[in-house]
């Protein structure tokens, strides 16, 4: 029977989400691609329990996480039942809907029908009574944004979730979503965009929009799908994501120019007394608008390495300039 580490809150730093009363750990764990049926349940269990023992109280899901879709939520549900149920009130568990989940015209995008049905199905798979946060996973180019936001408002008011969030929305779409949710009386808690040293897109208006509206940010892919680790400094390992059949990272993406940049970034990290992954997480967290960095993992040691970025020292101007010069030269 699992008993949590009694010192689990001493090593983690927690930040308030926007202007809300909620706090998240600086490092959160995403169950995107290593918690489905292709992952042994014992490995998934080891990662979740190790993360909680290290102070990670936030687990992030989506209906389509696996593979196959839905299986990550089933995996979490099994581990909640066997180990983590006594700690439910200490956990923040989020899920999302917006990508293809089932066949037909109602299993994708942002209609009220899809979001509400998906939330209900996700709750059944996880065995939870409610989600702490439920997101619209991406903007729908056809469904009126009011309908999507009204569905989130309904999900919160009906007790299926405590907070509403959005993910992958651009600055203009996010501003509109914030406005509608505010008028409906269910303020947007958090936005989840991709953000990393190699992906600066949120700096083009999105971070400012979140700050202005008191919305927190949790950044996914802060390690750029594994590029911002020590895995690709010399070669492409045979057991790496890039060398496999992953649709998210190909060998063609790892160019000689990119390796030069990664090694330059690694040099700065070592000078700071950090691994490249730790520095990359610290870089994302340097911004006061960012509440948490959302990591993925395939083994416990990766989580143990990443949590060391929590509470780490900030950056001096020279370090930031050197990082920008390396990335700008790609």
**For the domain that residue 76 is a member of, what is the CATH number?**
3.20.20.100
Range of the domain at 81: 14-226+277-313
Residue 322 located in a structural domain: no
Mean pLDDT of the chain: 95
Residue 236 pLDDT > 70, yes or no? no
On whether residue 330 sits in a domain, the answer given is no
- Mean per-residue pLDDT, 69-88: 98
Provide CB contacts within 8 A for 156, sequence distance 6+. Answer: 134, 162, 163, 164, 186
Residue 173 placed within a domain: yes
Residue 260 included in any domain:
no
pLDDT attached to residue 253: 74
Q: Is residue 54 part of a domain?
A: yes
Quote the pLDDT of residue 203. 97
**Cα–Cα distance for residue pair 21/2, rounded to 1 Å:** 30
Number of domains in the chain: 1
pLDDT tens, position by position, 294-303: 999 999 999 9
**Do the domain assignments include residue 167?**
yes
The pLDDT tens digits of the residues spanning 18-65 come to: 999 999 999 999 999 899 998 999 999 999 999 999 999 999 999 999
Residue among 91, 61, 86, 88 nearest 76 (CA)? 61
pLDDT at 242 over 60: no
Residue 250 in domain = no
Say if 245 falls within a structural domain: no
């Amino acid at each position: 029977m699992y008993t949590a580490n009694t010192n689990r809150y001493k090593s983690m730093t927690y930040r308030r989400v926007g202007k809300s009363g909620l706090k998240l750990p600086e490092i959160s764990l995403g169950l995107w691609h290593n918690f489905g049926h292709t992952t042994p349940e014992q490995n998934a269990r080891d990662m979740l329990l190790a993360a909680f023992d290290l102070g990670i109280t936030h687990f992030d899901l989506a209906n389509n996480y696996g593979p196959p879709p839905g299986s990550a939520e089933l995996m979490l549900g099994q581990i909640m039942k066997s180990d983590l149920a006594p700690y439910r009130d200490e956990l923040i568990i989020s899920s999302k809907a917006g990508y293809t989940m089932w066949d037909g015209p109602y299993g994708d995008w942002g209609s009220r029908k899809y979001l509400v049905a998906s939330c209900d199905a996700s709750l059944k798979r996880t065995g939870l009574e409610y989600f702490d946060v439920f997101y619209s996973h991406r903007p729908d180019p056809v469904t009126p944004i009011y309908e999507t936001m009204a569905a989130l408002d309904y999900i919160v008011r009906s007790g299926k979730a405590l907070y509403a969030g959005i993910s992958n929305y651009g600055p203009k779409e996010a501003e509109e979503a914030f406005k509608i949710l505010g008028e409906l009386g269910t303020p947007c808690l958090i936005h989840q965009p991709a953000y990393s040293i190699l992906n600066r897109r949120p700096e083009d208006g999105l971070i400012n929009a979140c700050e202005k509206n008191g919305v927190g940010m949790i950044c996914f892919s802060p390690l750029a799908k594994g590029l911002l680790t020590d895995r690709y400094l010399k070669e492409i390992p045979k057991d790496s994501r890039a060398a496999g059949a992953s649709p998210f990272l190909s060998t063609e993406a790892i160019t000689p120019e990119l390796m030069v940049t990664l090694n330059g970034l690694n040099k700065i990290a070592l000078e700071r007394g950090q691994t490249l992954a730790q520095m990359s997480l610290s870089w994302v967290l340097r911004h006061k608008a960012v509440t948490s960095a959302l990591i993925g993992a395939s083994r416990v040691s990766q989580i143990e390495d990443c949590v060391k970025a929590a509470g780490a020292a900030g950056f001096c101007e020279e370090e930031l300039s050197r990082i920008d010069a390396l990335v700008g030269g790609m």
